[in-house]
Structure 1
Amino acid sequence: MLIWQESYFQSNPDTVRGDIAHQAVDRGGTLTGRAGARVWRSLPVHNDRLGMHGICDTVHLSADGPVPVEHKSGGYRPGGPADLQVAAQVLCLREMFGRPIPHGEVFAGRTRRRYTVTVDAALEAVVADSVEQLRQQIADPQLPPPVNDARCKRCSLQPGCIPEIAGHSRIDLFAPRPVGDHD
């Protein structure tokens, strides 16, 4: 939400590594991939029913149909945000192509392999719920409080988010402390 509502973004080594890793897919265009599949890079997609749009890193079109492949420079965590992202891409492609697309894939740069993400009714419901929650957050002029958990350590937004003060009011932080009251 800091990026969207406050236009705040700060690069760090992880975001720069991701930018470098994405240079090939961000060029756009088509090429021939594995087993003769046509590969679209940076393909714009949309789903009118859910009111979402985005850009797939690559979409591999074979005789079986299109398969979005989300490229990540690091590792892969099953059930993590990359699964949600590739599921949203599958839902966009299903609507655009008017055909069943059972899965997408996540390519993890750290392991140099692809992981299949099956998009079933349960994952589709999580995507729809996430889109609705995001829509509500965007409409709310107040930023949600930071979570201050393990994800913060490597987050590029940490300097502007200041998660270590989550749960403290301004009064708590700047109130005089009794002598001898140290952390």
Structure 2
Amino acid sequence: MPGVHLIVGSSGNSMNDVRLIPLAALQHYAFCPRQCALIHNEQVWADNFLTAQGNLLHERVDSGEPETRKGIRFERGVQVAAPNIGITGKLDLVEKDISSGELFPVEYKRGKPKVSDWDEIQLCAQALCLEEMTGQTVAEGALWYNQTRHRQAVSFTPELRQRTLQVIADVAAMLASGVTPKAVYDKHCHACSLFDLCNPKLLQKDNSLQYVNRLFSTEDFDEETTE
């Protein structure tokens, strides 16, 4: 079948030699580093209404058949990997200009545009995968938001690329450490599907270590025995 599925990686590295970070981990890290560690290191997962809605959107997009319209080839559910920078995943949609060969990734989002640049970072990471696999530059992509039903164009500037590489390095370091960050409760916690498993309110106020240290403190013991 013609199109992006026929692209083979130019890197000589074996993907079995290194643990590649799923692209989804970047978004999990953006939402909450603890959530990212729980999912990708501790293999904890649970669905809620928001994640189920997002899953349905992506399943609908990924299930579409490849097609060509007006000189553009549309490939859906494209598997990619970039061993040199350590990431892998599945792209919602890649558009390929038949005449120029230019690739244009499109990421579908359940909600609406965000104030932060995390969606742009995830999309840029997709572009980096395509670049490593094809050897060609991917200059732009787009984010499509379900709430606004509108595409938002994204240019992969040097600044965005550098920020994306830094985030990938931060996520890789956290996952390699095997350490799950402590719970920090904030207003976003109730939107997390892992809220009940994480217990951020409870764990943030957990003083058990201090209690045990006080219980077995030598100073306290000496004071009690000398009275």
Number of residue equivalences = 174
Q: 1:78 to 1:93 in 2, by over 3 A?
A: farther
- What CA distance in whole angstroms lies between the structure 2 residues aligned with 1:24 and 1:130? 29
Alpha-carbon distance in structure 2 between the residues aligned to 1:83 and 1:48: 21
Structure-2 change in CA distance of 1:134 and 1:88 (3 Å): same
Partner of 1:112: 149
- Mapping of residues 64-103 of structure 1, within 5 Å: 64=100, 65-103=102-140
Please give the alpha-carbon distance, in whole angstroms, between the structure 1 residues aligned to 2:107 and 2:139. Answer: 15
| Identity value in percent | 28
Q: 2:92 aligns to what?
A: 57
Contact 2:139 2:156 in 1 (8 A): yes
* Aligned mates of 2:149, 2:68 — CA distance in 1: 19
Secondary structure of 1:115's counterpart equals: strand
When normalised by structure 1's length, the TM-score is: 0.85
The equivalent residue for 1:16 is 52
1:41-99 CA-to-partner distances (Å, cap 9, x unmatched) read 11011223212111111001114511100001111215432111101001111222222
1:180 corresponds in structure 2 to none
Which structure shows the higher strand fraction? Answer: 1
Q: Do the aligned partners of 1:28 and 1:43 also contact (CA within 8 Å) in 2?
A: no
In structure 1, runs of 5+ residues without a counterpart are: 176-183
Number of the residue aligned with 1:159: 196
Amino acid at match of 1:45: V
Q: Which runs of 5+ in 2 are unaligned?
A: 1-36, 213-227
What is the Cα-based RMSD across aligned positions, in Å?
Answer: 2.2
Shift, 1:28, TM fit: 6.1
Picking from 159, 165, 184, the partner of 1:122 is: 159
Greater relative contact order (Cα < 8 A, sep 6+) = 2
Aligned with 1:144 (options 181, 185, 195):
181
Contact 1:29–1:42 (Cα < 8 Å) also in 2: no
Query: Secondary structure, in 3 states, of the residue corresponding to 1:116?
Result: strand
> Does the residue aligned with 2:205 lie in a helix, a strand or coil?
coil
Do 2:79 and 2:91's aligned partners in 1 also have CA atoms closer than 8 Å?
A: yes
- TM-fit CA distance, 1:17: 0.7
Larger Rg: 2
Q: Which amino acid aligns with 2:47?
A: S
Task: Tell me, in whole angstroms, the C-alpha distance in 1 between the residues paired with 2:158 and 2:203.
Answer: 35
CA distance in 1, matches of 2:211, 2:47: 30
